[in-house]
Amino acid sequence: MNKLSYIFNQLIRIIILIPVLGYTQTENLNETEQLALRGNLQQEFLSLYDQERFQQSIVPAKKIVTLTREIYGENNFRLITPLNNLASAYYMVEDFENAQASFLQCIDLIEANQNIISPELISPLYGFALTLNRSGQYETAITILERALRINHVNQGFHNLDQLKIHDTLTESFIGVKNFEQANHHQTFQVFVNKKHFGVNNSMVDESLIKLSSWYKRTGQIFLEREVHDELLERQTNRTTDQIKPLIETYKNISFSHRREGVDIYQSLSPLKQALEKINAMENTDLFLKFEVLLDLGDTYTSYGRVQSGMRAYEECWNLIDEDPGMSQLIKERFSRPVKIRNILLPGIYPLPEVGEENEADQTGYISLRYAIDVNGKTANIEVIESDPEGFIDRVAVSAIKKTVYRPVYIEAEPQESSDINFRHEFLYSIGSKGKKSNEPEAEEELEDKPLENPIA
């Protein structure tokens, strides 16, 4: 920290401290004056919190709690909201210990003043569980969140939308304990709730399906992700509305889910070609949508080794500038740097433990490589710059880079080579496996570059 930053931080502390000292002398105020002061502090807290000045908002939040105790007593129900607000401010600055203490006080007050199924319990229970997740106490968080969910159902019924955030947080908790079956359940259940709340065919349900597909994509569940996209496609194509953008996005997502598998080029290309047909059939063609689909089409061809077909798709992107010069900046920016379109991931643990074996990897290794990208998007001139342990993962890393495919840089519709691309990867290993170096990878079969039956013209 430089001297200026230090002085600034000290000044902030002094500024925060002065009002604290000023408000500690409240015993001489009558109740009306105390209530007025409390109201002013509440406005100050809300203003700071809304501005995301969470550290500063803690000061008025603490004063409100103190004043509320002085006015109404130690166990009065009016302390519930001030304690919840204080806990929320602590959470936002990652002071989880104080956040938990305030949330627990809030929970105790609600149970003492109301009952154990009061709907007011949901907010502090949820907040308390968030702090538990952040500190890795997932099992306890699950218990707390399941209680919050039961209280929600008792008070608002089984199909209310307020429960959705609880399901999301339960998902994170179950991920923490590696129970992916339950994590899936709490994501899929949200679609069920939305269908019951809005009606099966209501367009509002689409948002929950998109969210579910994002969850499956995040967790690598490609087949389930595609099932959701297929359902979305059926819903969107059966509607008579002119909302084409969500439909095009669904086509793109279906294509990408197939491309991630890298097995069936037809299944990857077909949704994009259908999307282009929809766009070209518009009364006023949306050139921005067309550009995004053509870009995906080029990436898909290139990732499957159909380089010439990919180049033609990229050329079509550049030709859009002739139709609308206003697109020039966007197109030039998207082609200004190489973009990975087939990425071979390196293992985070190496070598991977056998099924049933304990993972004993506890040492951190790394490898740094440098390579070039040719005009076809293929990597070349791969060299290991540094690795530790030396030679341990080198061949695996070089093999992965060889199989990685890029969309090359384009300048004025012409593909360019890129050199000096740097890549660094860190991984865990055990000392016992240090002597086992990676085996020489098998040579990759070259894909013949020829057009499909229905290539892009």
Name the CA dihedral angle for 74, 76, 78, 84, rounded to a multiple of 10 degrees: 60
Q: Are strands 418-429 and 414-416 parallel, antiparallel or unpaired?
A: unpaired
Count CA atoms closer than 13 A to 32's CA, side-chain side.
0
pLDDT at 242: 67
Please give the structure tokens belonging to residue 25: 């002398």
What dotted CATH number matches 341-433?
3.30.2420.10
Q: Which residue bears the tokens 């049933």?
A: 356
Beta carbons of 84 and 127 less than 8 angstroms apart? yes
∠ CA(251), CA(330), CA(324), 5° rounding?
90
pLDDT at 12: 34
Q: How far apart are alpha carbons 448 and 309 in whole angstroms?
A: 12
Q: How far apart are alpha carbons 387 and 395 in whole angstroms?
A: 11
> What's 251-266 look like in SS3?
HHHHHHHHHHHCCCHH
pLDDT at 351: 85
Name the CA dihedral angle for 349, 351, 352, 358, rounded to a multiple of 10 degrees: -90
Q: How many residues does the chain have?
A: 457
Q: How far apart are alpha carbons 196 and 176 in whole angstroms?
A: 29
Q: How far apart are alpha carbons 236 and 258 in whole angstroms?
A: 20
pLDDT at 452: 38
pLDDT at 434: 66
Q: How far apart are alpha carbons 433 and 414 in whole angstroms?
A: 47
Beta carbons of 429 and 377 less than 8 angstroms apart? no
CB atoms within 10 A of CB 44: 18
Please give the structure tokens belonging to residue 64: 């409100």
User: For each successive 10 residues of the chain (457 residues), what is the average pLDDT?
Assistant: 38 35 56 90 94 95 94 91 95 95 95 91 96 95 97 94 96 94 96 94 93 92 94 90 88 94 93 96 94 97 96 97 96 97 90 70 92 96 95 94 96 96 93 61 44 36
Beta carbons of 212 and 191 less than 8 angstroms apart? yes
Please name the residues in contact with 265: beta carbons below 8 A apart, sequence gap of 6 or more: 300, 304, 306, 452
pLDDT at 356: 59
Segment holding 422, helix H or strand E: strand 418-429
